[in-house]
Amino acid sequence: MSGTADPPPPPTTIDRTLLAGFPSAGLLAAMQLELFTPLGHGPMTADELAATLGVSARRLTPLLYLSVHAGLLRQDGDRFANTEEAQHYLVKGGASYLGGGHELFSDLYRAAFQTAASIRADRPQAKHDFAAMSEQELGAFFRGLHGLAVVQGRQLARERDFGRFRRLIDVGGGSGGAAIGACEVCPELRAVVADLPSVVPFTRRFIDEAGLAGRISAEIVDITAVPPSSSYEVAILRNVLQVLPAEEARRTVLNVGRALEPGGELYIIGQCLNDTRLSPPETVAFNLVFLNIYDDGQAYTFAEHRAWLEEAGFTDVERTMLQRGLSRISARKRD
């Protein structure tokens, strides 16, 4: 009696994962071309849009159809228009514009493709050393982060009624986007953005461009080593702990705690893993990027965050899930 072997499974998961990169590349290209901005004024044909962008319609057309397939454009006959989401977030000049993130994601994609080399070498092959990065590299990095930082600062200030506060510190704030967004919402709020010596000049440029130099200052502070010199009612840590080794992340939370007044509030925004380390899926994916750009930085678990916060004298530790798999952890300094 002869048996028959079961047929092999189709490579569905492999194909889906490999092909997923092409729509991402298409969106990145569309952001780099500012494709959505002219469409902010109304539908256009491929020829009209190409002429506006100064590119070949023949080359542009496949990208337009891919963007329709991805749900970023709508097609009506020979005319293309932004979807509601693209109109809200990808038209330059809008209050919630995120199109500038192409510089950041270009950098992150390049880093992710170094994963095998980083694992073999046991060191990051696309390292981000904020103290040693060139002015061009730092500028591109912070421009890529700035738009979302401002949006998140506004949202946080509205949702948590930052009108109650007068003194905010944005720790490791980079462009100062979170502080800028919060101060735009709360006219009585004053803020300090604390960061490294190589970063602070960029911070001041973004603050000046926002017209908030009278209410936001940028100061040099190595938060992993010393607490800020003043006291504050509220603190934001955005995308900070994930760039640090665990012990430096712990010390950072302790130092921020020392700078907050009793009853003060802390908000940590960034990549945070569930304790299984299997979700959120976006954070699991970002950890692949982090191993390529940081010596020891990584997305830490919620349990690790809670332990650092409790040691630093915080209570009422809560976690809220945001877009892109980001977490917002809130805590209150004990009275």
Please report how the helices 177-185 and 200-209 are oriented relative to each other, as an axis angle in degrees rounded to 10. 30
The count of structural domains within the chain is 2
Examine the domain organization and report whether 86 and 207 are in the same domain.
Answer: no
Q: How far is it, in rounded angstroms, from Cα 259 to Cα 177?
A: 21
Q: How far is it, in rounded angstroms, from Cα 114 to Cα 126?
A: 7
Examine the domain organization and report whether 120 and 193 are in the same domain.
Answer: yes
Structure tokens at 81: 């228009």
Residues in the chain where the model's pLDDT stays below 70: 1-3
Rg, C-alpha atoms of the chain: 22
Q: What is the largest CA-CA distance in the chain?
A: 88
Contact assessment for residue 291 and residue 120, using Cβ atoms and an 8 Å cutoff: no
253 in helix, strand or coil?
helix
Examine the domain organization and report whether 60 and 132 are in the same domain.
Answer: no
User: In the block, which residue shows the tokens 């004053």?
Assistant: 190
Backbone angles phi, psi at 318, to 5 degrees: -135, 155
pLDDT value at position 2?
55
Q: How far is it, in rounded angstroms, from Cα 226 to Cα 165?
A: 24
The domain spanning residue 135 has which CATH number? 3.40.50.150
The domain spanning residue 32 has which CATH number? 1.10.10.10
pLDDT in tens, 221-238: 999 999 999 999 999 999
Contact assessment for residue 267 and residue 239, using Cβ atoms and an 8 Å cutoff: no
pTM over 0.75: yes
6 in helix, strand or coil?
coil
Examine the domain organization and report whether 243 and 315 are in the same domain.
Answer: yes
Q: How far is it, in rounded angstroms, from Cα 150 to Cα 274?
A: 26
pLDDT value at position 76?
96
Out of 32, 60, 92, a domain closes at 92
Q: In this structure, what is the dihedral angle of CA atoms 219, 334, 326, 251, given to the nearest 10 degrees?
A: 50
pLDDT value at position 3?
60
Out of 92, 115, 138, a domain closes at 92
Examine the domain organization and report whether 146 and 113 are in the same domain.
Answer: yes
The reply to whether 150 falls in a domain is yes
pLDDT value at position 135?
86
Examine the domain organization and report whether 34 and 55 are in the same domain.
Answer: yes
Contact assessment for residue 236 and residue 180, using Cβ atoms and an 8 Å cutoff: no
Examine the domain organization and report whether 282 and 146 are in the same domain.
Answer: yes
Q: List beta partners, residue 318.
A: 330
255 in helix, strand or coil?
helix
The reply to whether 85 falls in a domain is yes
Structure tokens at 87: 């109109």
Q: Which domain holds residue 121?
A: 101-333
The reply to whether 198 falls in a domain is yes
Q: How far is CA 163 from each of CA 111, 170, 189, rounded to the nearest angstrom?
A: 40, 16, 7
